[in-house]
Chains A and B, each alone.
Chain A
């Protein structure tokens, strides 16, 4: 089996997003071949997830003053910054003709193997975790997204950090941090990692791109053929770019979901616990568990991740957190599971009671340090 391989550097976000959606629409109809596009965007763009409200996610004034373009992905998830040192992956495949949702819960992991396999070939052990992250030792290195088009085409998106200007990211994304200082940058650095940091060298984007192509080829058992978009694809992409990705009605649309946030603080024998959550309707979009109690950071990150895109139902929260506690007994031995669960449930209850028009969610690569 063959896939087309398209390498692009420094393209605009609007063209890139339009060409990915065009390829996914066309592959669904059998008009374009399966395509792996490996790319970087012109520095810099801030991209929000399909349904995010830009005013809640990005510092629009900073973006405007610094020439950072804003756009909206067709895939879900959180806001990201893209530029010359963030490697983009767009894989477009034809969905199975008999179905709309086949095993959606498993398929993201399958796609992520193209990336984890590549990282392993470079000596980096990584794993897929939660809704859409690839992490190395608990630190996020890539964000993933999956979109099914109206024609049945599937678009898999990934953004991999070859390098990252954390200070710039913290200026672009709205974060829970009141001040941007060295401590904040250090805190975020503890939750994010990059290829160059892990390899201790200046691996080029081109070199990594070549590794990725080999990784996807091996994982999916396909031959990749270097190619470019056909004229009719470029024409369709240009039309979609003009009508959608350069159109403020798409880019600045607002979600109709009830979004709210809540916190809970609890003093326990093991220490002080502080939990904050963000809800969309009755779904937990994000959770942060901090305080001055002792626990392994990886275990706390697991607790937080287990709540990501989780039901706000009290019983389900109890069951999920109990399961994580049972898997992390030693690392969480200094704190009681019932107290953490109670704090999370309280934060969710507070969020449910507080319907706010604008929340203050964290960006895709920003989660406060587990230890406050």
Chain B
């Protein structure tokens, strides 16, 4: 596990390079999805969360829910395409779990992927995570929200 400015980016996950969602392919073929530490650091404490229902088909980059954090309301975007197979029933009533345990108890949904082999190629994974995460932290410190 790499640690970057007190932000962890576990090396066994895949990361969407721009929307900062993580994805993990499980042994049963399902993909677990959550929000990474850098996005959570920027958003602040999450107080409200609303997720789409099990059975909903989501496409990579499209919204599967929304949240209200200390700083903003925002849609949340799926890092890969698939059909939602289950939701983390703990996080909607207790969204703080996302901030406290982003990679474990704070996961958001599991989905049955429809194009994992292809889509996961465009996600950041393995040794590339270290260089990418360091660069991302620097980028967040320098750049603005809007063009």
Contact = CB atoms under 8 A, between A and B. Distances in A.
Interface of B: 18-20, 38-39, 42-50, 62-63, 66, 68-75, 77, 92-97, 99-100, 140, 143-147
A64 interface: no
A114 to B, nearest CB: 14
A50 B42 contact: no
Contacts, number: 144
A257 B44 CA distance: 17
A94 B19 CA distance: 15
Interface string A172-210: 000000000000000000000000000000000000000
A282 B140 CA distance: 27
Interface stretch (A39-47, A102-110, A227-235, A323-331): A102-110
Contacts of B46: 281, 283
A118 interface: no
Interface residues of A, number: 42
A250 to B, nearest CB: 12
B119 to A, nearest CB: 18
Contacts of A50: 48, 66, 68, 73
Contacts of B69: 76, 104, 309
A105 B71 contact: yes
Contacts of B73: 50-51, 74-76, 145-148
A100 B71 contact: no
A311 B96 contact: yes
B43 A258 contact: no
7 contacts: A51-B73, A100-B77, A101-B74, A102-B140, A149-B75, A283-B95, A309-B70
A131 interface: yes
A257 B39 contact: no
Given A280-B47, A309-B47, A309-B70, A148 B140 contact: no
A96 B146 CA distance: 4
A283 B146 contact: no
Contact of B74 (A100, A108, A131, A309): A100
Contacts of A282: 94, 96-97, 100
A104 B143 contact: no
Contact of A281 (B50, B62, B96): B96
Interface in A255-305: 255-258, 280-283, 285
Nearest to A27: B146
Contact of B68 (A51, A100, A101, A107): A51
Would you list the 8 A-B pairs with minimal beta carbon distance, nearest first? A51-B48, A282-B96, A148-B74, A309-B70, A102-B145, A146-B72, A104-B71, A76-B68
